[in-house]
């Protein structure tokens, strides 16, 4: 059932806020125990970016430019420069902050699409801790490598797409199709 009022109005519900806080603390705990499993390739790329090598070259084959897959590295280097922290520390905190943002954006995207707080809560909890893929337990357990950046990007695109669709349907813009 659609709730009255704006599609994405209202404060963040307590359960979603608690889940976001739990995912933040879990990200800190997990990263304190182990380093990213592909940091052996990303740390040298971050070092090259930090020295001004843009677009970065392959750290093991310097005559080859990287044609992609360095978005998170660039984000970490930018924040490292802005904060004065090392790239390792910045990577730690960027990942910890992106994890709860995924949960919050998921709630608002589903809330906007369905018009229901209950649907937003259900989908958020299912996606955050209910989806089991291999040894992972939902989005909050999938924080190694470039996953937090890619997942947050996809969720933001979903949120914006749902907003566009709802505006198109309100304005009867689909009538020509």
The DSSP secondary structure of 52-64, one letter per residue, reads T-SSPBPSSSTTS
- pLDDT of residue 24 exceeding 90: yes
Q: Which of 28, 45, 30, 49 shows the shortest CA–CA distance to 93?
A: 28
% of the chain with per-residue pLDDT over 70? 85
- pLDDT of residue 4 exceeding 60: no
- From 54-68, 103-117, 130-144, the region with the lowest mean pLDDT: 130-144
In whole numbers, what is the pLDDT of the chain averaged over residues? 83
Task: Characterize the bridge pairing of strands 132-133 and 136-137.
Answer: antiparallel
Per-residue pLDDT at 107: 92
Tokens 């307590």 belong to residue: 14
Per-residue pLDDT at 133: 65
% of the chain with per-residue pLDDT over 90? 24
> Residue 86: CB partners within 8 Å, gap ≥ 6?
80
- pLDDT of residue 41 exceeding 60: yes
How large is the average pLDDT for residues 149-159?
86
> Residue 24: CB partners within 8 Å, gap ≥ 6?
96, 97, 99, 100
- pLDDT of residue 177 exceeding 50: no
- pLDDT of residue 17 exceeding 90: yes
- pLDDT of residue 23 exceeding 60: yes
- From 13-27, 52-66, 98-112, 123-137, the region with the lowest mean pLDDT: 123-137
Per-residue pLDDT at 132: 67
Please list the alpha-helical segments (H only) found in 38-146: 39-50, 71-83, 87-114, 117-125
Per-residue pLDDT at 16: 93
């Amino acid at each position: 059932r659609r709730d009255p009022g704006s599609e994405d109005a209202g404060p963040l519900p307590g359960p979603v806020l608690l889940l976001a806080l739990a995912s933040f603390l879990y990200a800190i705990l997990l990263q304190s125990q182990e380093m990213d499993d592909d940091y052996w390739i990303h740390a040298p790329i971050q070092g090259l970016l930090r020295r001004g090598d843009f677009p970065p070259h392959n750290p093991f084959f310097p005559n080859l430019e990287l044609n992609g897959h360095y978005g998170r590295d660039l984000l970490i280097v930018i924040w490292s420069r802005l904060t004065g922290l090392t790239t390792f520390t910045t990577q730690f905190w960027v990942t910890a902050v992106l994890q709860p943002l995924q949960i919050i954006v998921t709630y608002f995207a589903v809330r906007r699409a369905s018009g229901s707080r209950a649907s937003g809560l259900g989908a958020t909890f299912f996606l955050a801790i209910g989806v089991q893929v291999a040894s992972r337990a939902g989005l909050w357990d999938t924080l190694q490598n470039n996953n937090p950046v890619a997942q947050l990007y996809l969720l933001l695109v979903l949120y914006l797409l749902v907003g566009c669709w709802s505006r198109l349907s309100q304005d009867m813009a689909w009538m020509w199709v």
